[in-house]
């Protein structure tokens, strides 16, 4: 095997793997896997693991499997399987013909369990779950042997067979590994290998009423698939001795487990249990709600696979837990969309502007640049007419210092159009609120030029009122108000203002924009046409991210 192509900076996992290639462990092979349990949708933390496993395989000309770790029928569903397949593919990774299901290995796993029983390394225990916990002891108190620990091989074989045949009730018996009740590592105190569960499995149906526990199943899955490096998150470090013990006792092919720190992100939660709770309790609309850190939520929000992969590259892989600032994720999508999102003008909080000296019946097409970052993107025409909308925020009756936009008697530049001057204000008789501005335009400033060299500092965006396309625009804020919503009851810190819906007025070029299209609304942020609520006659735009980049500022302050 040749040396890996290096695109990503090295890290301790890549170092281990490169050493193994060099020394010929596993014959120089590299074979990883991404093993999600189909009990929820994937989130950005999973993306880290996906990029790591598939990324390393690609760099080392190795292979990476997609494997569903579907050993718990109570919480798993086909919908999750489908969404996971879609998400991994969308992120840009390919498992070729290596899509596997742990449930397809139930039969060989069972045979291996019988092998351990025969070797006197596993026994059927009749203790209840509570008693097993009690007997297990604690970090300071050694465990005690179960009264059933020394059953004969024959009795164990008989009971285990009958467990499989459905003779016993849920929870009445388990199969345990006979390891060491005095081990300082609690995972080694005769861990449960099988439990009885009369539940329908999303794939194997009613074939089984006996289901393997994670620690027993996972190493076998890896072994069966010929995995070389079983990369998992840090909480499994204490389980590694057990992973090794099972494979050693069986004398089968033995992959190496390697642990890394999971991704934590500020202002959000990442556990599937918590995400499911938010979905089920209606705090968000679904698993793909654009406010969630799920892959499908990020996709709907307008994130690109490139930005997510870039993010995973930048955060790197380490052995100690840390929390990443969500501003870094936002920085990555901004950087990507800045390069490729075409610009448009849209007004989200409209104030009517009448250009008094512009003819009633006239419409001009003005040329606008599609993307200043990409000359190949060309230009487009934007209609200009007598009545416009500008953002309410771009006008102040009493402008504070350094306010360079529109105010009574002042001039401002309309992007790609003219310089206008505010000559009058109309207000609501009752509320006093400004309802309309009267302005004049200077025909000599077409395109925003000032041939006389006069200084006009402010430039604002606008749309022609008659031509604008109204659209539903969804503005998102962080889902939680605190940096670490995980510490307390996470529902208490939900941000009540995480979704604001407004009617926006868009440049007519956006009429009929297809679902998934990503654009920049000048000065307002990047937006994406919603792929779920979209209808040709009713455009819905999600704001992916605002323009102001707090990460750039944070980065400057970093040591």
Q: In terms of CB distance, is 233 or 550 closer to ligand ATP?
A: 233
Q: In terms of CB distance, is 178 or 218 closer to ligand ATP?
A: 218
The answer to whether 387 and 428 are in contact (CB under 8 A) is no
The answer to whether 256 and 467 are in contact (CB under 8 A) is no
Residue 555 catalytic? Answer: no
| β-pairing verdict for 346-347 and 387-391 | unpaired
Tell me if 46 contacts ligand ATP by CB under 6 A. Answer: yes
Give the total of residues touching Mg ion (CB under 5 A): 1
Instruction: Name the one range near ligand ATP by CB under 6 A: 34-42, 113-121, 374-382, 481-489.
Output: 34-42
Look at phi and psi of residue 137 and say left if phi exceeds 0, alpha if psi is from -120 to 50, else beta.
left
Residue among 4, 36, 143, 509 that touches ligand ATP (CB under 6 A)? 36
Q: How far is the CB of 498 from ligand ATP (least distance, A)?
A: 20
What residues from 266 to 285 belong to the interface with ligand ATP (CB under 6 A)? 270-272
Within its chain, how far is the Cα of 118 from the centroid? 46
Q: How far is the CB of 262 from ligand ATP (least distance, A)?
A: 3
d(CA 334, CA 343): 13
Q: In terms of CB distance, is 145 or 235 closer to Mg ion?
A: 235
- Nearest 5°: the CA angle 64, 78, 196 is 95
Closest by alpha carbon to 34, among 54, 10, 11, 18?
A: 54
Residue 262 catalytic? Answer: yes
d(CA 387, CA 354): 5
The answer to whether 526 and 520 are in contact (CB under 8 A) is yes
Tell me if 379 contacts ligand ATP by CB under 6 A. Answer: no
Closest by alpha carbon to 13, among 40, 63, 49?
A: 49
Tell me if 262 contacts ligand ATP by CB under 6 A. Answer: yes
Residue 507 catalytic? Answer: no
Q: How far is the CB of 160 from Mg ion (least distance, A)?
A: 26
Tell whether the torsion through CA atoms of 70, 71, 75 and 78 is positive or negative.
positive
45 binds, among ligand ATP, Mg ion, none (CB under 5 to 8 A by kind): ligand ATP
Q: How far is the CB of 79 from ligand ATP (least distance, A)?
A: 15
Q: In terms of CB distance, is 233 or 531 closer to ligand ATP?
A: 233
Q: In terms of CB distance, is 35 or 302 closer to Mg ion?
A: 35
Tell me if 240 contacts ligand ATP by CB under 6 A. Answer: no
Residue among 233, 249, 385, 481 that touches ligand ATP (CB under 6 A)? 233
Residue 30 CB coordination number (10 Å): 23
Instruction: Name the one range near ligand ATP by CB under 6 A: 119-127, 161-169, 265-273, 535-543.
Output: 265-273
222 phi, psi to nearest 5 deg: -60, -40
Most distant CA pair in the chain: distance in Å? 102
Q: In terms of CB distance, is 38 or 62 closer to Mg ion?
A: 38
Tell me if 294 contacts ligand ATP by CB under 6 A. Answer: no
Q: In terms of CB distance, is 76 or 530 closer to ligand ATP?
A: 76
d(CA 163, CA 196): 7
Q: How far is the CB of 41 from ligand ATP (least distance, A)?
A: 10
What H or E segment, with its residue span, contains residue 48? helix 44-59
Tell me if 263 contacts ligand ATP by CB under 6 A. Answer: yes
d(CA 523, CA 504): 14
Give the total of residues touching ligand ATP (CB under 6 A): 14
71 binds, among Mg ion, ligand ATP, none (CB under 5 to 8 A by kind): none
Closest by alpha carbon to 295, among 549, 35, 46, 23?
A: 46
Tell me if 45 contacts ligand ATP by CB under 6 A. Answer: yes
Residue among 14, 29, 31, 48 that touches ligand ATP (CB under 6 A)? 48
Closest by alpha carbon to 519, among 378, 510, 329, 91?
A: 510
d(CA 162, CA 548): 65
Q: In terms of CB distance, is 272 or 461 closer to ligand ATP?
A: 272
164 binds, among Mg ion, ligand ATP, none (CB under 5 to 8 A by kind): none
Crossing angle of helices 44-59 and 12-23, in 10° steps, is 30
What residues from 12 to 51 belong to the interface with Mg ion (CB under 5 A)? 37
C-beta nearest to ligand ATP: residue: 45
Tell me if 49 contacts ligand ATP by CB under 6 A. Answer: yes
What residues from 486 to 515 belong to the interface with ligand ATP (CB under 6 A)? none
The residues pairing with 505 across neighbouring beta strands, listed in sequence order, are 347, 470
Which one from 121, 144, 262, 340 is the annotated catalytic residue? 262
Helix (H, G, I), strand (E, B) or coil at 151: coil
The answer to whether 279 and 338 are in contact (CB under 8 A) is no
Tell me if 219 contacts ligand ATP by CB under 6 A. Answer: no
13 binds, among Mg ion, ligand ATP, none (CB under 5 to 8 A by kind): none
Q: In terms of CB distance, is 49 or 542 closer to ligand ATP?
A: 49
The answer to whether 143 and 181 are in contact (CB under 8 A) is yes
Tell me if 232 contacts ligand ATP by CB under 6 A. Answer: yes
Q: How far is the CB of 293 from ligand ATP (least distance, A)?
A: 9
Within its chain, how far is the Cα of 395 from the centroid? 38
| β-pairing verdict for 63-68 and 99-101 | parallel
Which one from 33, 272, 343, 386 is the annotated catalytic residue? 272
Helices (H) and strands (E) in the chain, counts: 13, 27
> Any idea which residues carry the catalytic annotation?
37, 262, 272
Residues that bind ligand ATP (CB under 6 A): 35-37, 45-46, 48-49, 232-233, 262-263, 270-272
**Chain contacts with Mg ion (rule: CB under 5 A):** 37
């Amino acid at each position: 095997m040749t040396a890996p192509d290096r695109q990503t900076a090295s890290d301790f996992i890549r170092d281990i793997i490169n050493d193994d290639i060099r020394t010929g462990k596993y014959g120089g092979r590299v074979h990883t896997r991404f093993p999600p349990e189909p009990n929820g949708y994937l989130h950005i933390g999973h993306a880290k693991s996906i990029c790591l496993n598939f990324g390393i395989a690609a760099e080392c000309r190795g292979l990476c499997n997609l494997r569903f770790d579907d050993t718990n029928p109570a919480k798993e569903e086909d919908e999750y399987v489908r969404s996971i397949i879609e998400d991994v593919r969308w992120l840009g990774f390919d498992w070729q013909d290596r899509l596997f299901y742990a449930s397809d290995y139930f039969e060989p796993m069972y045979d291996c369990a019988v092998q351990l029983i025969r070797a006197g390394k596993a026994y059927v225990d009749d203790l209840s779950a509570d008693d097993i916990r009690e007997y297990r002891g604690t970090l300071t108190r050694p465990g005690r042997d179960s009264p059933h620990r020394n059953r004969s091989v024959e009795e164990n074989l008989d009971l285990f067979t009958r467990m499989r045949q459905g003779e016993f009730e849920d929870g009445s018996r388990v199969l345990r590994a006979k390891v060491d009740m005095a081990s300082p590592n609690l995972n080694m105190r005769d861990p449960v290998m099988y439990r009885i569960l009369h539940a329908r499995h999303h794939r194997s149906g009613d074939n089984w009423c006996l289901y393997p526990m994670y620690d027993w199943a996972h190493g076998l899955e890896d072994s069966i698939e010929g995995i070389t490096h079983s990369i998992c998150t840090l909480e499994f470090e204490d389980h590694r001795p057990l992973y090794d013990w099972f494979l050693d006792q069986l004398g089968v092919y033995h992959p190496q487990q390697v642990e890394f720190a999971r991704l934590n992100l500020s202002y959000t939660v990442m556990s599937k249990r918590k995400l499911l709770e938010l979905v089920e309790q209606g705090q968000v609309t679904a698993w793909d709600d654009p406010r969630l850190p799920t892959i499908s939520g990020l996709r709907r929000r307008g994130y690109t696979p490139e930005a997510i992969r870039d993010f995973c590259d930048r955060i790197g892989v380490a052995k100690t837990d840390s929390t990443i600032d969500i501003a870094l994720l936002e920085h990555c999508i901004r950087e990507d969309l800045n390069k490729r999102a075409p610009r448009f003008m849209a007004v989200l909080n409209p104030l009517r502007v009448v250009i008094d000296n512009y003819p009633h019946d006239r419409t001009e097409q003005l040329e606008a640049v599609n993307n200043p970052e990409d000359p190949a993107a060309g230009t487009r025409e934007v209609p200009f007419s007598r009545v416009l909308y500008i953002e309410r925020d771009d006008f102040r009756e009493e402008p504070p210092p350094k306010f360079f936009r529109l105010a009574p008697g002042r001039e401002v530049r309309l992007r790609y159009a003219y310089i206008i001057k505010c000559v009058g204000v109309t207000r609501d008789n009752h509320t006093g609120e400004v309802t309309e501005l009267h302005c004049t335009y200077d025909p000599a400033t077409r395109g925003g030029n000032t041939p006389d060299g006069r200084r006009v500092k402010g430039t604002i965006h606008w749309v022609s009122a008659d031509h604008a396309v109204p659209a539903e625009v969804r503005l998102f804020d962080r889902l939680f108000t605190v940096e670490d919503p995980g510490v307390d009851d996470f529902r208490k810190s939900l941000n009540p203002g995480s979704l604001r819906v407004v009617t926006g007025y868009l440049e007519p070029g956006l009429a009929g924009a297809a679902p998934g299209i990503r654009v920049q609304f000048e000065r307002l942020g990047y937006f994406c046409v919603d792929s779920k609520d979209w209808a040709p006659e009713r455009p819905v735009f999600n704001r992916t991210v605002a323009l102001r980049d707090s990460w750039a500022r944070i980065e400057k302050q970093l040591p």
